[in-house]
Structure 1
Amino acid sequence: MMAIALLLGGLIAYFQLPVASLPNVSVATIQVTAQLPGADAQTNASAVATPLERQLGQIPGLTQMTSSSAPGFVQIALQFAPSITPQEAALQVQSAINAAQGSLPSTLVSPPTYRITNPAETPILILGLTSKTLPLTTVDDYAESLLLGRLSQIPGVGLVTIGGQQQPAMRLEVDPTRLSAHGLTMEDLRTALQRATIDAAKGTIRGARQSFGLSTNDQLDTRVDFANMVVAWRAGAPIRMSDIGAVAIGPASTQLAGWFDRDPAIILNILPAPGANVIDTVQRVRAELPRLQAALPKGVSVNIVSDRTTTIRASVADVRTTLMLTIALVVATIFVFLREPRATIIPGVAVTLSIIGTFVVMRALGFSLDNLSLMALSIAVGFVVDDAVVMVENIMRHIEDGAPPMRAALLGAGEIGFTILAISISLCAVFIPLLLMQGLVGRMFQEFAITVVVAVLLSVVVSLTVTPMMSAWLLRARAPDEAHGRVYLALERGFAGLSSLYARGLDGVLRHQKLALGAMALTVLATALLFVTIPKGFFPTQDTGLLAGITEASADISTAGLAARQKALVDTILRDPAVASVASYIGAGATNPSPNQGRMFIALKPFGHRGADGGAQQVIARLGRAVQGIAGIRLYLQASQDITIGARASKSQYQFTLVDADPQELALWSGRAVAAFRALPGLTDVTSDAGASGPQLRIRINRDAAAELGIAAEDVDTALYDAFGERPATKVFNALNQYDVILEVAPQFRADPDALNGIYLRAASGAQVPLSQVAAVETDAAPLVINHQGGFPSTTISFNLRPGVSIGTAVAAVNKVRAQLHLPVTVQSAFQGNAAAFQTALSGQSMLILAALVAVYLILGMLYENAILPLTILSTLPSAGLGALLTLLLVGRPLDVIGIIGIVLLIGIVQKNGIMLVDFAMEQQRGGATPAEAIRTACLERFRPILMTTMCAMLGGVPLMLGSGAGAEIRQPLGYAIVGGLAVSQLLTLFTTPAVYLAMARLRGRDRADHAASGPKNAMMENAQ
């Protein structure tokens, strides 16, 4: 009944488990945005970003605060400690924004807003809205009025951003010459506009018997209404808007544009809410899309540019296949060794129940079916099968000695039960350090460790209950005259030959124990040397089927020039055979901080349709070469990853940040750092987020001359803002939306610096005064973007790695350059994002392995009540580490966190073999054998079981090692470490362990060995007595 309950419960839980690429390890991240159209980056940094940062920086639990100030726009990203929930963080952020409100400019379009989302995170779904018949302003209107709200309400959607926004607006384009000829200024026009169109409350007439609501035609609605608007009255005649300029309907910002492939488009980027399941969220969105498409005009098409769940599903499906293949291979291996179908069925059932039963606990703990949890189960197959095999082997021995099956099951379970328990407890001890790890890596691998531990503990329960029961029913003694088949005999000859070969080698080792001990010492030294020298990595770079790109042109480029170059890039990229579609957009906004930059998302075809050289990194390299011929723009590409570390999007994968309170000093040293980094041979795509300085016209007011005319500095700023700021003067309201009314001089009057000659100010006398009379114009340069970190000016240098270079090597090179630069104490520097996470993971690698060894040693010491005997078991471990490191080195893989987990797993696998040898040898010694006789007998008797369990564990790693397709880059390092480690360990430890055992026996003395090392079972029985 227990087995049936475990099976049914596991199957139900399996279908209820959510599917994901990796465990959810996100932290609360909030994006704060504020808009001040017309303001340059410096004004936004000082007047908007700084007051907000002053208040936001006081929030408890805040771990990182970065901001980008660009013309017209400020974006602040906040990340919090893992203990802070997104809802708690949001309340604190809102309070800080309210506290800063009084220090912010009154000309902000609206109060600062915040969203619980990470601006650096990759969209889970990208949509492109196109139309062959309707203008993009109409398409955008439908997107913002209909789609944005409906999509944002779908459970799991955290934020929907718009790329290439074309929000419709009424644009009043003024001829400054005609305006001045009528004795009017831009401020006169703005005031008249605000007074002429308004949608305000009018009240109600309430009589004794009837009430009347009041309504007026106070709002201007159409382009004709605005053209006929009376601005002023001169000489008994009205001056209308049409007399001083033109009215057009166009986008609210002329600096934004977007494309789906080669077609103009509105791009919708859908980001997940914190903790949301990506698969479920995308399913809900895709289910809603047909209804949204039906609600749009026939000329508007909703195109899916990229769906991140496609590769996630493929990746998880591959791991599922790997798990099933591993179980099949392990069961086949058991059959090869046991050569008895009935005996093979029993471990197969035990493995299946243990794995399926684990799903119940995973569901209860809120885990998901992801790459790590399914990899944990694949590896656990090699662990859990050992318990059942050891139990079946022991019961079969009793049956062959003449005991009835039921009696044999009871005897076998009683004899071997504690050994199984001891082995499993020591194996679980390996994962204690993983469960206690902190930081992102620790949180990610806790799910991995718990999954393995649960599977192992369930296998103990199954092996002590279900396995003996099935053995009593299925196993039977072979009749004396029953002949074996040809397969059985062939396998028996093979195993006999291996055993004979091993016996000869073992005898040689026992005759030359010093050589074996020397070999073991060399293994320890080689392992330590390799561990220090092998290239180090953080986390394998995934091929998610999506490339993220940032484009950058010169600081003085026009919107039209940037658009032409962006389209040229897209045209070249679409010719690549691995590319499926491209979404791109340009212009400063919520998804792009700088006006001379653009964004690009390149969706790749499914793995099977890309060709032999269709890997993400290969495509990036190929596209980089293809676009080199496009002048005036540069493309920075990187593969989108499932793990987002940090909240600042950068042009390359790794970041290094300089912070200084003095912007000039920061610019000096960041420039030197960039030059030094570019000289490093292992780095490529080295770039800085310090916005390039664009040309700026600095208007210097002659305050004396202005004061004489009654003109204040505020009047100058207002006149310039009215003319060139694309300033929303008022709004037009309708039933579904509201639209800005933009006031500006006509395009032909703001095309070059001479446009300032057409700006007039009103003196105190009422006369029109040209700007040139009270101010001089100078040409200057100013940054397009100003970045802060922690409230101080910062520059982030980002870089990619050249092929074959590990992040460990790069970090060491950068640290060397940092030391050579001799940065002043006022300049603080640190790695950010993935590079910072690597440093944290690297600092814990040695401690993690050491902690696992100490945990195993303590558990074994308690079980054996001996401090020396566990060293014999631990002596088997260096060879496993050597094999894992050598294999990673041979295949050109760095030692990353996945490889480290593989080495930790090897500690658990290999020490089980050591326990089996030591237990058997101790049993022989209690029977009167000498240590040499005992260990020789143990090695020969346990040779086949050890070979079988090692093969089972290796076969758990082979599918991971040989896997391809989605997610293979995560699975392969684990497979390489396990297969390589077990292969070398199997070859060495079967010869070195006997020598170590005898050395320890001589160290302890024969009498002490007979008592203190009497084995975990006898030791605990003596304590009980």
Structure 2
Amino acid sequence: AVITYKGGGINPLTGQSMGSAAPVRLRDIAEVTDSWKDASSSFYVNNEPGIFLSIQKQSGTNAVEVADNVIAKLDEIYNYLPAGVSLKIVYDTTKIIRQSLAGVRRSAILGALLAMGVLFVFLRSFKSTFIIGLSIPVSLLVTIMIMYFSGLTLNIMTLAGLALGIGMIVDSSIVILENIFRYREKGAKAVPAAHLGAQEMITAITASILTTVGIFLPLLMFKRELDIIGVLFKDLAFTIIISLLASLLVAVSLIPVLTGKYLKLYTRTQKPLKNAFWAGLDSSIEKSFTRLDEGYKRLLSRVLDNKGLTGLIMILLFIISLFVMEPLGGNVGLELAPEQAEDFISLELELPVGTRYEVTRDTLMQLAGIAREELKGYKDIFILAGNSGGFSESDIPNRGSLFVTLPPYKDQIDSHR
């Protein structure tokens, strides 16, 4: 290939011809070979060379849904791979999301079951327990419906809000139900008892719900001023607020209707237990609660008789509790988020500027060899040499990364800690 021509033309100083132009070819000034570009970055999986493909979701999209769509296409991609080439997922960040969501779901379901179990112990009535238990899914359905129209999804924070809200959801319903039952013990019929029992408690439970809402409301009102805290907890606060307001609506509407019309409550005097065993067990539990009430009354009486001493003890306990904080010499530290059990170990390597890519690669290979010898129970070790591991298009020869993927935390021998 001709690059340019040398010579020829007219000399601008003498006006004489400079002869014919001589071509300057590429082979005259360079060595031309048909070859590959020199490597400036590389990727190794378990000491085998490979190609690293990182897929990042767009802002505002669902990470789990994107991962599912990519995984669904893998079988189709396998058909186009040449012989001897394999494709595997070395790391999936959505596993942590899936595990967290599953954990929160289990906690919410277990919390609901435990709440109903505790209610049955204290109420000792399948009908009353069913009424309170029914208020949980109804309140959650109302909350999820409002979340849907507000553009929220079921993520870690909203599910955590629902799990926290389950324990508070039943509070208002229990107060209404207990007051209705109290009127039934006084001899009131089902419908008047439901009406009077609910009407009498509306002000109290509304004030109770609103005080709790007032705790979480500032997270929504000042989410921009709170920076990352506002971003992290706005969905949690919104979910708790909506679930509490929904529980208030259910308590003052659904509970009176069920107890007054469809699932009428009866006292032990009105409908005693026929089975001798269950009647004796119910009587024993009732006596235990009676003794507990009497003990609380005696304790409360002593506290009220010694107001000054009680106040002094409370102040001392408050002061002592402050000293368990790390800034005051205690062992309770302050941090943004607690340490979590990870399923990978990462190491970022940065050598002095000007270090050649080959040196970076060899250093990472040595570190990978040390990891293979010293770590136990790992899944894969992969290195990325000549790149920072981000989404930058340019290679950085003096930087690299080493990743070690681990099995689930319960199966780990050596953990990230």
TM interval, shorter chain, is 0.7 to 0.9
Q: Which residue of 2 aligns with 1:854?
A: none
**Residue number in structure 2 paired with 1:570:** 368
* TM-score normalised to structure 2 length: 0.83
Alpha-carbon separation, structure 1, partners of 2:26 and 2:191:
106
Structure with greater strand share of residues: 1
Indicate yes or no: 2:290 matched with 1:496.
Answer: yes
Q: Is the 8 A contact 2:364 2:402 kept in 1?
A: no
Q: 1:290 and 1:476, CA in 2 relative to 1: closer, same or farther beyond 3 A?
A: same
Deviation at 1:403, TM superposition (A): 1.3
Matched, 1:284 2:69: yes
Q: Deviations over 1:638-678 (max 9, x none)?
A: xxxxxxxxxxxxxxxxxxxxxxxxxxxxxxxxxxxxxxxxx
CA distance in 1 between counterparts of 2:232 and 2:153 reads 12
Question: How far off is 1:557 after superposition?
Answer: 4.6
2:248 maps to which residue? 460
TM-score with structure 1 setting the length: 0.35
Q: How far apart, in 2, do the equivalents of 1:256 and 1:396 lie? A: 75
Aligned partner letter, 2:259: S
Indicate the SS of the match to 1:393. Answer: helix
In structure 2, do the counterparts of structure 1 residues 367 and 544 end up closer, same or farther at CA, with 3 Å as the change threshold? farther
Counterpart AA for 2:341: D
Indicate the residue corresponding to 2:16 in structure 1: none
User: 1:773-818 deviations in whole A, cap 9, x for unaligned?
Assistant: xxxxxxxxxxxxxxxxxxxxxxxxxxxxxxxxxxxxxxxxxxxxxx
Task: Select the residue among 610, 616, 634 that pairs with 2:412.
Answer: 610
Q: 1:585 to 1:591 in 2, by over 3 A?
A: farther
| Residue pair 2:40, 2:386 contacting (<8 A) in 1 also | yes
Aligned-partner SS, 2:59: coil
Determine if contact 2:361/2:386 at 8 Å carries over to the other structure: no
Q: How far does the alpha carbon of each residue in 1:124-183 deviate from its partner, in whole angstroms, 9 at most, with x for none? A: xxxxxxxxxxxxxxxxxxxxxxxxxxxxxxxxxxxxxxxxxxxxxxxxxxxxxxxxxxxx
Shift >6 Å, 4+ stretches? none
Task: Percent identity, please.
Answer: 26
2:384 to 556, 560, 585: 585
Q: Which residue of 1 aligns with 2:133?
A: 348
Secondary structure class of the residue paired with 2:82: coil
CA distance in 1, matches of 2:306, 2:394: 70
Please give the per-residue CA displacement for 1:563-605, whole angstroms capped at 9, x wherever unaligned. 2221222233345334222332212573786422212333222
Equivalent residue runs for 1:49-448 within 5 Å: 191=3, 241=27, 245=31, 247-251=33-37, 253-435=38-220, 436-437=222-223, 438=225, 439-448=227-236
**After superposition, where does 1:741-890 map in structure 2 within 5 Å?**
none
Alpha-carbon distance between aligned partners in 1 of 2:120 and 2:394, rounded to the nearest angstrom: 60
The one-letter code sitting in structure 2 at the alignment partner of 1:560 is: E
Give the CA deviation at 1:349.
0.6
SS at match of 1:598: strand
- The separation in 2 between residues aligned to 1:413 and 1:598, in whole angstroms, is 67
SS where residue 187 of structure 2 aligns? coil
Contact 1:373/1:451 (<8 A) preserved:
yes
- In 2, are the aligned partners of 1:384 and 1:456 still within 8 Å (CA)? yes
1:560 — aligned with what?
358
- Structure 1 pair 485/591, CA: closer, same or farther in 2 (3 Å)? farther
Q: Which residue number corresponds to residue 397 of structure 2?
A: 595
How far apart, CA to CA, are the structure 2 residues paired with 1:259 and 1:316? Answer: 32
Q: How big is the shift at 1:447?
A: 0.7
- Secondary structure of the 2:55 match is strand
Q: CA deviation at 1:300?
A: 2.8
- Tell me by how many angstroms 1:244 deviates: 6.4
CA distance in 1, matches of 2:65, 2:207: 42
User: Contact 2:303/2:310 (CA < 8 Å) preserved in 1?
Assistant: yes
Q: 1:449-528 residue pairs with structure 2 within 5 A? A: 449-472=237-260, 473-474=262-263, 475-479=265-269, 482-483=272-273, 485-528=279-322
Distance 1:517 1:360 in 2: 46
SS at match of 1:272: coil
Q: Determine the C-alpha separation between the residues in 2 that align with 1:488 and 1:519.
A: 38
Distance in 2 (alpha carbons) for counterparts of 1:354 and 1:249: 68
Describe how 1:642-653 pairs up with structure 2 within 5 A: none
CA distance in 2, matches of 1:479, 1:434: 49
Inter-CA distance 364–542: structure 2 relative to 1 (3 Å threshold): farther
Q: 1:592 to 1:326 in 2, by over 3 A?
A: farther
Q: Is the 8 A contact 2:132 2:170 kept in 1?
A: yes
Q: 2:143·2:242 contact (CA, 8 Å) conserved in 1? A: yes
Amino acid at match of 1:515: L
Superposed displacement of residue 526, structure 1: 3.5
Matches of 1:486 and 1:568, distance apart in 2: 74
1:586 touches 1:592 (CA, 8 Å); kept in 2? Answer: no
The separation in 2 between residues aligned to 1:559 and 1:582, in whole angstroms, is: 20
> Per the alignment, do residues 514 and 374 of structure 1 end up closer, same or farther by CA in structure 2, a change over 3 Å counting?
same
2:188 match: secondary structure:
coil
Letter in 2 for 1:482: P
Aligned counterpart, 1:540: 338
**Aligned-residue offset at 1:544:** 4.2
Deviation at 1:448, TM superposition (A): 0.6
Stretch moving more, 594-603 or 342-351: 594-603
Q: Are the counterparts in 1 of residues 43 and 51 from structure 2 also a CA contact under 8 Å?
A: yes
| Greater RCO structure (CA 8 Å; 6+ sep) | 1
SS in 2 for 1:328: helix
Distance 1:444 1:556, change over 3 A: closer
Query: What amino acid is aligned across from residue 284 of structure 1 in structure 2?
Result: N
CA distances 1:391-412 after superposition (whole Å, capped 9, x unpaired)? 1101111111111112211111
Aligned CA distance change for structure 1 residues 487 and 573 (closer, same or farther; 3 Å): farther
Query: What are the superposed Cα offsets for residues 441-477 of structure 1, whole Å, 9 maximum, x if unpaired?
Result: 1122111111001000001111111111111222123
SS in structure 2 of the partner of residue 258 of structure 1: strand
Classify the secondary structure of the residue corresponding to 2:88. strand
Across the two proteins, how many residue pairs are aligned to each other? Answer: 384
CA distance in 1, matches of 2:369, 2:290: 67
Which stretch shows the higher mean deviation, 314-323 or 239-248?
239-248
Q: Which residue does the alignment assign to 1:140?
A: none
Residue 372 and residue 347 in structure 1: after superposition, are their counterparts in 2 closer, same or farther (change >3 A)? Answer: same
Amino acid across the alignment from 2:376: P
**Superposed CA offset, 1:251-274 (max 9, x none):** 3x4332221221111111112211
d(CA) in 1 for partners of 2:178 and 2:394?
Answer: 65
Distance 1:377 1:306 in 2: 30
Cα deviation, residue 249, structure 1: 1.5
Confirm or deny: 8 A CA contact 1:350 1:459 kept in the other structure: yes
Conserved? CA contact 1:582–1:603, under 8 Å: yes
Structure 1 pair 494–572 and aligned structure 2 pair: CA distance change class (3 A)? farther
Secondary structure (helix, strand or coil) at the match of 2:333 reads coil
Higher mean C-alpha deviation, range 385-394 or range 402-411? 402-411
Shift of 1:354: 0.9
**Structure 1 residues 355 and 258: CA distance shift in structure 2, 3 A:** same
Listed as ranges, the gaps of 5+ residues in structure 2 are 5-21
Taking the aligned partners of 1:336 and 1:255, their CA distance within structure 2 comes to 69
